[in-house]
Amino acid sequence: EKEYIGFATLPEQVHRKSVKRGFDFTLMVVGETGLGKSTLINSLFLTDLYKDRQPTDPTEKINKTTKIEKRTMEIEEKGVRLRLTVVDTPGFGDALNCEESYRVCEKYIDDQFNKYFQDESGLNRRNIQDNRVHCCLYFIPPYGHGLRQLDIEFMRRLHKKVNLVPVIAKADVLTQKEKKRLKENMMKDIAANQIEIYEFPECDPEEDDEFKRQDAELKASFPFAVIGSNTVLEVAGRRVRGRQYPWGVVEVENQQHCDFVKLRTMLISTHMHDLKDMTQEVQYENFRTQCISQISQ
Residues in the interface with ligand GDP (CB under 6 A) total 13
Does residue 144 touch ligand GDP according to CB under 6 A?
Answer: no
Q: Which is nearer to ligand GDP, 34 or 144 (CB)?
A: 34
The whole-angstrom separation of Cα 146 and Cα 124 is 47
If binding is defined by CB under 5 A, does position 283 make contact with Mg ion?
A: no
Residue 42 Cα distances to 47, 48, 130, 227, 228, angstroms: 5, 5, 23, 12, 8
The string of DSSP letters for 108-128 reads: HHHHHHHHHHHHHTSTTGGG-
Based on CB atoms, which residue is closest to Mg ion, 172 or 215? Answer: 172
Amino acid at 65: T
Instruction: Among 91, 93, 228, 242, indicate the residue that binds ligand GDP (CB under 6 A).
Output: 228
- In the complex, the smallest distance separating the C-beta of residue 79 from ligand GDP, rounded to whole angstroms, is 32
- Candidates 35-43, 118-126, 203-211, 231-239: pick the segment binding Mg ion (CB under 5 A): 35-43
Q: Is 105 in the site for ligand GDP (CB under 6 A)?
A: no
Is 91 among the residues that bind ligand GDP (CB under 6 A)? no
Q: How far apart are CA 147 and CA 70, in angstroms?
A: 27
Out of 36, 91, 146, 242, which residue is the one contacting ligand GDP (CB under 6 A)?
36
Binding of ligand GDP by 89 (CB under 6 A): no
The reply to whether 38 sits near Mg ion by the rule CB under 5 A is yes
